[in-house]
Each structure stands twice: as C-alpha cells, then as structure tokens.
Structure 1
Amino acid sequence: MTEVQATVERARSAARWWGGLGHNGRRARLLAWKRHIARQISELAALVAEETGKSPDDAALEVMLAVEHLDWAARNAGKVLGRQRVPSGMLAANHVATLEYLPLGVIGVIGPWNYPVYTPLGSVSYALAAGNAVVLKPSEHTPRTGAWLADAWAAAVPGEPVLQTVLGDGAVGAELTRSGVDKIAFTGSAATARKVMATCAETLTPLVVEGGGKDAMIVAADADLDAAARAAAFGGFGNAGQTCAGVERVYVERAVYPEFLDRLSGLVPGPQLMTTPEQPSIVRAHVDDALARGGRVVVGGPSDASSPVAAVILAEVPEDSLAVTEETFGPTLVVNPVDNVDEGIRLTNASKYGLAASVFSKDSHRATGIARRLRTGAASVNAVLGFAGVPSLPFGGVGDSGFGRIHGADGLRELSRAQAVTRQRFAAPMDLMRLDRDPKVMRRALKLFHLRHGR
C-alpha cells in the first residue's frame, strides 16, 4: 500500500468517527481549530509569504478571509444540511417527506500555490463541516503551508486524523484521485483540470473544479474613475497578478478611456516576486504577442522572463491575442476601449473562461443589471473581489473556469449527499401503489388529476 492509499484508509476510519459526532460536535471542534489558526496568524502568514513571495500583509489578509469562511461553515452546516421536512404533494399526502444532507466520506482536496490557505480551505472547511474527513494535497510550491494547516488541526483537535496532508507533485495528486476518495475538489489550470477529470473518470469519482479565469472589468462612462482605477490596479497587480478571480481585462467606454488610462497609470506598483519559476516566461510571451499583434505599452514593457516581474499596462490589444484569450496570471492588464457597455458585455462573454467580473457605474441599479448579463459565476459592482469575503455566497465558474461550487450553502451541499426519506403516516385514501389496483379508485384518481392539472 502506498503512502497516499494508507493516508486515505486512515481518513476513512476517522470519517466514521467525525461523521458520528453530529453537527454540534463538529461545530465545537471546528471552532477550536479556527481559534488556533487565528491566534497563530503571524506564524502562518510569515510561512505563506516565504513560500509564495507575497507580502506579509497580503498573506495575513488571506488567512483572515479563510478564517471567516471556516467560521461560517462551522456555524451554518447544521442549518443548511440538517434534516428538514418538505411538502409531500397530493399523491403522497399520507407520507411525511424529509430531506437531509449526509457526509460523503473522504474528500481529496488538491490545492493551488497562489492562495495556499484561502483557496484550499474553501473546500477543506466546508468538507469538514459537512462531516467528511479530508486528505489535502497542497501545491508542491507551498507544501509547508499545507502541512501547517494539518498540524494545526492535530493540535486543536487531537485524536482521529480527520485532516491529513500528502505532499508531492502532480503524480501524488493523480494517485489521490485513484485512491478511493469519495470526491475530489481541485483548483488549478483548465489544462490540469482535464487531466484530473480523466483520471477521476476511471473510478467514477465525482469532481468539483475551479479552473482559473480571464476576468474582465467593465467601466461605464459615468463611473467613478478613481475608484475604478484603484480597483483595477488591485485586481490586476495584487499578488503579482496571480489571482484567478482578479482582473486581467478592462473594457472602458471610449468617452472616458484616456482619462481612465491616465489614472490607472499612476497606480502601477514596482516589480513583484512570482511564486513559480515558469510563470514569468508566460507573462513575457503574452506581452510579446500583444505587441506583435499591434497592441501598445502604456506602462512597463516586456520583462526578462525571470522574477521579480514588472507590472505592465497594455492598450488597444487585439481580441485574438494571447493576452486577451489566455489566462496570463501575472501583473499584466489589458485595457481596451469600447463604444458602449453592450460591446463590453459581448467581449467579456466571448471568453472561454467565466469565473468572475466587475462593473463600475455610478448608477448601481444599471450596474447590477450589467452584472446579471455576464457569463460568470460571480461579479462585483463598484468593487473587485467583493464576493471573496462573503462566506454565504457560492464561488465557482462556467466554461474553462470549471463547474460545481465551493463556499456558502451550495459549497456545503456540494460536499454532501442528499438523502430523501418518506414515512407513511396512514393508509392512502386512494391506494395506487399496488399491483391489484381497484379500477374505480384509478378512475377517481384520473378525474382528480384532470381537475388539478388539465384545466
């Protein structure tokens, strides 16, 4: 038996204990883990900063957001998943009908390197709150962060190994998908997601995928341009642009395009460290392709394909360039003019990705209407990443951005199995669920059916 298989077997045994505690028992232990993480935030943030290259403040903010989600999942799982009575309907009026969401068993979580606490805990916290044991495979670029989380669990909730980590590269992740876990929660590129999905198909292991994004911002002519520029800079350049739901494309109505570019240009940060050695070359390739196709540089320029990487603003970039069609995942913003908001919506929706977007307009009612027309799983109005800090909202995308949801009530249900139960209270006045039906009863039932549904 391999290390991964042995870890899953230990988790299988722990899952029986954990599931048997009930929602109240799990809640108390999850909140103990939460308090442990919160008290050790400086230690964890320093580790995240060391492994990813992000600033200590950004790392601390990541931990804070993750803890908010953990707290919500712990406190709301019983209300969302617990047994509740549902209407029985006319044909089954003699039955009591209940619905309950039960643990799946063991969840395998494959985490990313860009947010090694917030993103995997978006699956781990909700899986644990739903009554499952978890085996976490953190990115090979951030292994110590993943191990820290499991060690923190063992310190706060000693005993059964309800949360464990397995360390290694993609081969370890592939082994985890084949190990007999009851579901995989994966975050990473769409290309890797396809490989994970193919492996899961071998054993019909279900999968939830967050596969990245090419997130757009639409800036209407009536927008607060200072606020929009600040948001674009934060969404595009924060964490060195390594934010799946940040900002990579900005579509600005032509009337305010020059003014927006001018304001955004004054907010460009200095060179930033990137987490992986491969990412700078991808950024360089996208910038070079944009320039070769006729785009222009407003700030910055092609980097030398090594970290740290300088931020770049590109303008008037053709829509078929790599910088528009593919996820850059670096401190690069494409800012293009549009004749009107409708054109911005059309271009936003033309992407194969559909994770997140943002809309800026002083008319919040209009902006909300624009957001509803976007083919994305999440959108922020007059802000970026607003949904990331709201634990009750589900998160996930469409297209190459994946399927399924984490966070919120949807995230709890995603990592559970629905069980429907009926209990007969009394004999049916018209008993149709038998082989020797009375023809008169059947005629009466049909008459009632026509009265109810046929007129």
Structure 2
Amino acid sequence: MSSSLVELTAVEAAVLRAREAALWWAGLPAGHRRRHLLAFKALVAGRIGELAECIRAETGKPVAGAQLEVMLAVEHLDWAARNARRVLRRRSVRSGMLAFNQAAAVEYVPYGVVGVIGPWNYPVYTPMGSIAHALAAGNAVVFKPSEYTLGVGVWLATGWAELLPDHPVLQVVAGDGAVGAALCRAAVDKIAFTGSAATARAVMAACAERLTPVVIEGGGKDALIVTADADLEAAARAAVFGGLGNAGQTCAGVERIYVERPVFDPFVARLAELMREVEPGDGPDAPYGPMSTPAQPAIVQRHIGDAIERGGRAVVGGVDSVRAPFVGPVLLADVPEDSAAVTEETFGPVMVVNPVADAEEAVRRANATAYGLSGSIFTRSRRRGLALAGGLRAGAVSVNSVLGYAGVPALPFGGVGDSGFGRVHGADGLREFSRPRSVTWQRFRAPIDVMTLQPQPSALRLALRMFAWRHGR
C-alpha cells in the first residue's frame, strides 16, 4: 500500500471515530459541553509552563512569547465555552405579510466533524481559534498540526483525552501536507485552514471534490500608519513589538509602515534606535528566537536584497542580518512599492517604512495589496483614527496599538483577499462552525391562502391588492 493510501486510511479512521464522538457531544445539553470545555481550559491554564516549554522546544520562541500565546488561547476558549449557548440559541424572527400565520425561528446546529489544519508559527493560539469555537458549537474536531509543531498538537489532544478518555471529540493526525490533503478529502463536514494563500487554494481545490465548506485564515502584509500628530514614541514601540515579535513570523504583524512626511525623519530615527537594542537569541529570555522553518531565512534575505537593489535604504541591518536560523532586526526605508518586501509576505523581522504626503495616501498604499488581514493607525485624534480605520481593506484594525483586537475574545478575526475568508473568535466564530436552520410552525390557517396549487381567484385578487399597497407605492 502506498504511503498516500496509508495516510488517507489513518485519517479516515480518525474521522470515523470523530463521527461517533460528534453524535455524543452534540447530544449533550449545552451546559454539559460548557463544563467539559471549562475543565479543558483549566487543565491548559494550570499547565501553562509545561505547554509553553513544548511550544518553545518546537518553535524556538522565548518563554514569554510562548506563555502569552497560551494565555490568549485560554481567553478565547473561555469566551467560547461561556457564550456558545447564548449565541447559538434558537431565535424568533418576524414572518412578514405573506406568512403572517406562521411563527418563524432560526437555530444553529453543529456541522458534525470539523477538520482543522494548523500552522507552526502560533501552534496553540491560532488553531485553538477554530478548535475552541468548533467544540463549543457542538462539533468533534480532527486536528492536523504542522509537522514542525506536532508535539504541541499531541499535547492538546492528550490533555483532552485525560478529561474524556472514552469520547475522542478532539483528535490529532500527524504528518505533512499529504495528511492535510487526506483530511480535506475525508468525510469531514468543514475544514478550517491557516497558512499561505497558495496552500489555501490547494486546500479549497481538494475540498471542492466533496463540496466541503472551508474557512481560510491566510497571510498578511499588514500596514501601520503614523499621522503627523501621533505619539511617535508609542508608535515606534508598537512597531517594534508588531514587527519583531515571534521573529516577525506573525500573519497579522507589522511589515509595512507609512508615515506622514513631517514626522518621517524623527519617527524613523527613534524606531531605528529601538530596533538596534534588540538581538535575537536561543535563550529563554531572548526578545525573539530563530526562524522556525529551514526555508524562511532565504525568503527573508531575498526580500531584503531586492529592496536594496531597487533603491531602498537599509537603516538598520541588511542582507548580512540573515544568519540562519537567526535574522537580526532589519529596517528598510524608501523602498519602491513594487518590491518583494512591500508586495509579498516576508514573515521575518523586517519592516519597510516609507513617507507619505498624508494619511489618505497611506490608506491607499496600505490597501494596494492582495492581502487584507489587519492594520494599525497611530493618531491623537480618535475621530480621525476611526475614520481612517474605516477606509482600510482589512478584517481588523487597531488604533494606537498593534494587535489590540487579539486579546478581545468577543471580536471576530479573519481577512479578505489573499488573507482568506470566514471568521474565528467571537460570536461570528461560533456561527462559523454551525449551520443555520430555519424553522416555521403554523399558528392558524391563513384567511387569505395563496400558498396552494390553485388559489381561489378572490384570495389572489385580495393578496395582489395588499401586495400593491405594501410594495408598489
């Protein structure tokens, strides 16, 4: 038997087990599912040190970054568990004129089995956005973690099995992209994928064979906009966090910065000072660690080289900053907008900073990309900040912070364009893993009945007069 058939068979077996578990899980009262989920949350929170060390061992990120990732994941798990019943309960809706004798409601039911394909950069926080909300909505989950962070995925599934050993509501399948493809082709009811736009297209093609619905969280090329009235110190410090955190391996991190020209030079000077203070390392307390995959340093180096060859300035670092597996902080200025460092996802500790005439030009440049995940704006005017946020083609925007939305469990997260579609987190995340079902029940016989094969002429005439009165004026 070929390896691909073995992988498919193993995945199919996991899905079959999940199918049986899903029937039990969905059949539980919502309050019982909540208790199980909160017990899982307590287990994860109580062992944060252990899980953080597992993350660190597989990704190289410092302990603080790994702990923050777990804390964020737990907050979202807690919110999903506590709010699922309220968000997904049956709701009455108005019936309208033609069906005024009917009562009507919409309810949300679980899909059944959800396949989750997770990334390596945030191996707990990112996939748990799908896992937690899928479980809270009443689904069973088969989780395919990245092959680079398999241990983290096994840790999560093992923790769940400690609490419910007889019900494999959360399982892990191990392997590379072939296993992910097998999961897409298995009899799952929905796929949640996080990764590159190119891989997302392959996932969608595989899911199309069964018309399996998908939610895609793609990459990003997120921009930070700095207006002339902004707090430059706060903006610079936020850029360092958003651009260098996790070695820049953050889909919603800061990769581009657009600064109004009057404050461009002082902002760049301060940002450069802060970046020169940062040195990556493999110690537990390093600001950030190595690139997590062997291929990433070469991509980062190509982007830096292309930007400089096209006339950009290396304000901090440069091509020589790439010392695999580490990449030192790199700040590039005056980079042409058609360079790879501006148009492609770099996924490294590299930021491009360019001047703009005004914030409106910054918004236009920020939107001139295939991506649309998130963005940040720094200004002292709340009104202006919100107005600029409204102009960004992005799924999330932070004003006077970066990644501010990540810590708000009630907010949905997702993007547009090559950044994907669908949402995780919040009420939208719960509904993402539920099927809406419409229900009506007749309260009394309609005195004017046109919902019949041959309505009475008098009933039809009266219905048409009422229709014209209502809609034809």
Q: Distance in 2 between matches of 1:211 and 1:348?
A: 17
Q: Which residue of 2 aligns with 1:96?
A: 103
Establish whether residue 48 from structure 1 lines up as the match of residue 62 from structure 2.
no
Q: How far did 1:89 drift?
A: 1.2
**Which of 175, 179, 189 is the equivalent residue of 1:168?**
175
Task: Count how many residue pairs are aligned between Structure 1 and Structure 2.
Answer: 455
Q: How far did 1:156 drift?
A: 2.3
Matched position secondary structure for 1:61:
helix
Question: Contact 1:48/1:59 (CA < 8 Å) preserved in 2?
Answer: yes
Matched position secondary structure for 1:344:
helix
Residue identity over aligned pairs, in percent, reads 64
Q: TM-score, structure 1 length as denominator?
A: 0.99
Q: Which residue of 2 aligns with 1:405?
A: 423
Q: How far did 1:436 drift?
A: 2.6
Question: Contact 2:322/2:328 (CA < 8 Å) preserved in 1?
Answer: no
Matched position secondary structure for 1:379:
strand
Q: Distance in 2 between matches of 1:422 and 1:106?
A: 27
Establish whether residue 356 from structure 1 lines up as the match of residue 374 from structure 2.
yes
Q: Distance in 2 between matches of 1:304 and 1:377?
A: 31
Q: Which residue of 2 aligns with 1:180?
A: 187
Establish whether residue 283 from structure 1 lines up as the match of residue 297 from structure 2.
no
Establish whether residue 133 from structure 1 lines up as the match of residue 140 from structure 2.
yes
Matched position secondary structure for 1:419:
strand
**Which of 238, 259, 262 is the equivalent residue of 1:255?**
262
* 1:326-337 equivalences in 2 (<5 Å): 326-337=344-355
Q: Distance in 2 between matches of 1:454 and 1:235?
A: 55
Establish whether residue 414 from structure 1 lines up as the match of residue 421 from structure 2.
no
Map Cα deviations across residues 33-78 of structure 1 (whole Å, 9 max, x no partner).
Answer: 0001010000001110111111101100000000000000001111
Q: How far did 1:180 drift?
A: 0.9
Q: How far did 1:87 drift?
A: 1.1
**Which of 57, 82, 88 is the equivalent residue of 2:89?**
82
Q: Distance in 2 between matches of 1:346 and 1:84?
A: 41
Stretch moving more, 317-326 or 401-410: 401-410
Map Cα deviations across residues 75-99 of structure 1 (whole Å, 9 max, x no partner).
Answer: 1111111111111112111111011
Q: How far did 1:411 drift?
A: 0.9
* 1:354-433 equivalences in 2 (<5 Å): 354-433=372-451
Matched position secondary structure for 1:142:
helix
Q: How far did 1:305 drift?
A: 5.3
Q: Distance in 2 between matches of 1:59 and 1:267?
A: 23
Question: Contact 1:395/1:405 (CA < 8 Å) preserved in 2?
Answer: yes
Matched position secondary structure for 1:353:
coil
**Which of 37, 41, 60 is the equivalent residue of 1:34?**
41
**Which of 200, 207, 210 is the equivalent residue of 2:214?**
207
Establish whether residue 232 from structure 1 lines up as the match of residue 232 from structure 2.
no
Matched position secondary structure for 1:435:
coil
Stretch moving more, 21-30 or 278-287: 21-30
Q: Distance in 2 between matches of 1:287 and 1:142?
A: 28
Q: How far did 1:326 drift?
A: 0.1
Q: Distance in 1 between matches of 2:297 and 2:54?
A: 22
Matched position secondary structure for 1:141:
helix
Map Cα deviations across residues 434-455 of structure 1 (whole Å, 9 max, x no partner).
Answer: 1231111111111111111111
Q: Gaps (5+ residues) in structure 1?
A: none
**Which of 62, 77, 84 is the equivalent residue of 2:69?**
62
Matched position secondary structure for 1:267:
helix
Q: Distance in 1 between matches of 2:39 and 2:450?
A: 53
Q: Distance in 2 between matches of 1:435 and 1:200?
A: 40
Map Cα deviations across residues 247-269 of structure 1 (whole Å, 9 max, x no partner).
Answer: 00000000000000111112211
Q: Distance in 2 between matches of 1:45 and 1:442?
A: 69
Q: Which residue of 2 aligns with 1:342?
A: 360
Establish whether residue 151 from structure 1 lines up as the match of residue 158 from structure 2.
yes
Which aligned segments of 4 or more residues in structure 1 are displaced greater than 3 angstroms? none
Q: Which residue of 2 aligns with 1:292?
A: 309
Q: Which residue of 1 aligns with 2:17?
A: 10
Q: Distance in 2 between matches of 1:172 and 1:252?
A: 44
Q: Which residue of 1 aligns with 2:318?
A: 301
Map Cα deviations across residues 131-190 of structure 1 (whole Å, 9 max, x no partner).
Answer: 000000000100000000001111123321000000110000000000110010000001
Q: CA RMSD in A?
A: 0.9
Q: Distance in 2 between matches of 1:223 and 1:111?
A: 37
Establish whether residue 23 from structure 1 lines up as the match of residue 41 from structure 2.
no
Q: Distance in 2 between matches of 1:86 and 1:29?
A: 32
Stretch moving more, 86-95 or 290-299: 86-95
Question: Contact 2:93/2:106 (CA < 8 Å) preserved in 1?
Answer: yes
Matched position secondary structure for 1:354:
coil
Q: Distance in 2 between matches of 1:249 and 1:435?
A: 62
Map Cα deviations across residues 404-443 of structure 1 (whole Å, 9 max, x no partner).
Answer: 1111111111111010000001000101111231111111
Q: TM-score, structure 2 length as denominator?
A: 0.95
Residue identity matched to 2:423? R
Q: Distance in 1 between matches of 2:134 and 2:300?
A: 35
